[in-house]
Copies of this chain bind each other. A is one copy, B any other.
């Protein structure tokens, strides 16, 4: 008897399968994303962190080469693929937001933070437009809690002049309808300094 397992799967494919009755059908599943209910893996979390950094640099570069409108389009695509706004409100406390718009639980609020230009969020100048050319996540820890996962650590970002900004970063993930991780929690803050 052949058997299959929906196991801790890599991010890119439903590994398991080979259902003993009909391997052909199982093979079809092999091209799909990971099943929604599969546990999240450390590899997936790290890949999602790298993807976030890559997206930040991509938006900044898009802005510098093609302007705000193009950057906004790209940022919207990033939000839709990397964040869970389609599933409900996201717990997002960006690095530089201020009272009374500290928390950006809606897609509009997140988009305004990343690319600015939204009169409803007049203090936003576009965090993703600040010339970022390099971005590196560094984990203090990752905790997999089954169907969700959280990570904490630093993210270092370098702009086009080589200036570095390092923030304290927490992310929380769940698996989306497409089988890929979605950010449902994002708390970013500048390091505390005693001056």
Q: Enumerate chain A interface residues (CB-CB to B < 8 A).
A: 1, 3-8, 14, 16-17, 19-22, 25-26, 29, 32, 35-42, 87-89, 91-93, 95-99, 101-109, 123, 138-148, 150-154, 168, 170, 172, 174-178, 184-185, 187, 189-194
Contacts and interface: CB of A to CB of B under 8 A. Distances in A.
Given A5-B144, A22-B109, 9 more contacts: A4-B105, A8-B8, A8-B41, A21-B109, A36-B174, A37-B144, A91-B151, A93-B189, A145-B145
Contact of A29 (B89, B143, B153, B191): B89
Contacts of A108: 22, 25
17 contacts: A5-B42, A5-B143, A6-B89, A26-B89, A32-B88, A36-B36, A36-B175, A37-B146, A38-B146, A93-B189, A95-B192, A102-B168, A143-B172, A145-B145, A145-B148, A145-B174, A187-B187
Name which of A96, A98, A103 has the most chain B CB atoms within 10 A of its CB: A103
Main secondary structure of the interface of A (DSSP, over half): loop
Contact of A36 (B29, B154, B177): B177
